[in-house]
Amino acid sequence: MLAVVELGGTRCRAAIGRVHAGKPGAVAERFEIPTGDPQPTLAALAEWLAARGPFAAVGVASFGPLRLDSAARDYGRLLTESKPGWRDADVLAPFRPLAQRLALETDVGAAALGEQLQRGGRGTLAYVTVGTGIGGGLASDGRVHHGQLHPEIGHLRVPHDGSFAGVCAAHGDCWEGLASGPALAARTGTPAEALLDGDPVWATEAELLAHGLHAITAVAMPDTIVLGGGVMQRAGLRAAVARRLAELNAGFAPLPEVAAPALGEDSALAGALLHASTQSR
């Protein structure tokens, strides 16, 4: 049996499950809590798993920026204050007693892996989540792409009219600062989930998201871009983004399929299961 942990900007989850023939099996049990301060949040997840162990391996999929290099002194630690109080938090330490092998990936990297392997594991897939923030991962032929760190695509720069300063604590008007859920709320004074379908802000949102996807397409040329996260649950938004992406591309290069997550809300959990089964150390 494998254990997995997903650390997100709004909620954290733990689950147990298996992998069959290179694909995640059904999750046997799961546990969810709001993302709070690191020590009690991680302790609660570890306690829940400890009551169900032992495990062959534990896979952890966390928001970043996160040190993924296992040879680094700060392996498994968060590198910035992307969530208040989480800078330098060790996201692996509470789970080390649960298994001899651990695997670490970003939440969006794990989601990209899960979604690609669910689709057969060939080609290149970008996973983009639009919710509390904007993040993304890239998987190619069943492997997650990293450079000296993992991708931080939410901090791309995208064209905008300058009427809104953005909400990113690091960059202000980066892609995340302009088009995340908190950005929509700050722009309109209304939580994103409470906005009406006909609100003109959704046209602005589709425009901003399409520009970000255009940049990803130009750099990575993925076969598929999976758009997930809470903001993308808005009816018609994904289709509007795909239409605007096609206009921006202007027939210049092959377009990726813009798709919904095949694994629903479990993309990162599934990817973490797969990662734990093959990459743990």
pLDDT for 82 equals 83
Report residue 215: phi and psi, to 5°: -65, -45
Look-up of token digits 């949102």: 205
Distances 272 to 162, 179, 226 between C-alpha atoms, Å: 39, 27, 17
Mean pLDDT value across residues 165-185: 97
Could you report the per-residue pLDDT of 37-86, keeping only the tens digit for each?
A: 999 999 999 999 999 989 999 999 999 999 999 999 999 999 998 889 99
pLDDT for 241 equals 99
Q: What is the CATH number of domain 2-106+264-279?
A: 3.30.420.40
pLDDT more than 90, % of the chain: 88
pLDDT band at 19 (very low <50, low <70, confident <90, very high): confident
Could you report the per-residue pLDDT of 264-281, keeping only the tens digit for each?
A: 999 999 999 999 988 655
Q: Indicate if the alpha-carbon torsion angle 269, 275, 278, 280 is positive or negative.
A: negative
Mean pLDDT value across residues 239-257: 97
On whether the CB atoms of residues 190 and 203 are closer than 8 A, the answer is: no
Q: What is the CATH number of domain 120-259?
A: 3.30.420.40
pLDDT for 18 equals 87
Residue 261 CB coordination number (10 Å): 21
pLDDT for 280 equals 57
What lies within 8 Å, CB to CB, of 160 at 6+ separation is: 173, 178, 208
pTM: 0.93
Residue 24, pLDDT > 80, answer no
Strand order in the sheet with 102-106: 29-34, 11-17, 2-7, 57-62, 102-106
CATH 3.30.420.40 domain range(s) in the chain: 2-106+264-279, 120-259
Residue 125, pLDDT > 80, answer yes
Mean pLDDT value across residues 242-261: 97
Q: For residue 183, with 0-12 CB atoms within 10 Å meaning exposed, 13-18 middle and 19 or more buried, which class applies?
A: buried
